[in-house]
A and B are shown apart, each in its own frame.
Chain A
Amino acid sequence: DTGVSQNPRHKITKRGQNVTFRCDPISEHNRLYWYRQTLGQGPEFLTYFQNEAQLEKSRLLSDRFSAERPKGSFSTLEIQRTEQGDSAMYLCASSFFLREGRGTDTQYFGPGTRLTVL
């Protein structure tokens, strides 16, 4: 399977604990995105990387959230001191961006990690 993979698929944690999710993008995709989806809503953008550089962050990404993509391949999303409001599906997507005016930078999504904070 050469699609985007995410681990774990499900995570249950207690309020105040730290959690970390991993995303492995499609091979050779240079852009990687994180989205969050709460029940009944469409996904909302959190942040994205081009190679190892984090280039944009949403205001949704509070100080308790941190994302890394150290070698420009896989990425991790950490949530510190989790709160019940963090319960959501965390989605990762990847795309290949060549350069301005070339290609359409289509994003492909992984299966998501469902976080439940008790």
Chain B
Amino acid sequence: DAKTTQPPSMDCAEGRAANLPCNHSTISGNEYVYWYRQIHSQGPQYIIHGLKNNETNEMASLIITEDRKSSTLILPHATLRDTAVYYCIVRVASTGFQKLVFGTGTRLLVSP
């Protein structure tokens, strides 16, 4: 699996958009970008994933650059409950087995 690079921490004001970057410069053509988050003392929560097109769901938007070497997770209106560690993971999907390889993620602190 390709490695990812994320900033260790970010701050965001409540109600503002939180933009979390991820670099994955060695990503392969068949690797997806996945985002999970982990709120303190809970299990990781799946947020969104994408291959090359931008994706949006009820939780967030995922913007992937055209060269696929980086992506940004956007929480459009951050709330205090979005305070968590956010993990960006790249993995091949639907080909045999692919474990999730978590890095240390980005610790997002949303403040009032």
B21 CB within 8 Å of chain A: no
Could you count the A-B residue pairs with CB atoms below 8 Å apart for me: how many are there? 68
Closest to A101 in B: B94
A45 to B99, CA, bound (A): 7
Interface flags, A98-115, vs B, CB<8A=1, else 0: 111111111111111010
Closest to B42 in A: A111
Q: How many residues of A contact B (CB 8 A)?
A: 35
The minimal Cβ–Cβ distance linking A97 to chain B, given in whole angstroms, is 8
A42 touches B49 (CB 8 A): no
Closest to A97 in B: B94
Query: Which positions in A face B, CB cutoff 8 Å?
Result: 4, 6, 33, 35, 40-45, 48, 50, 55-56, 58, 89, 91, 93, 97-112, 114
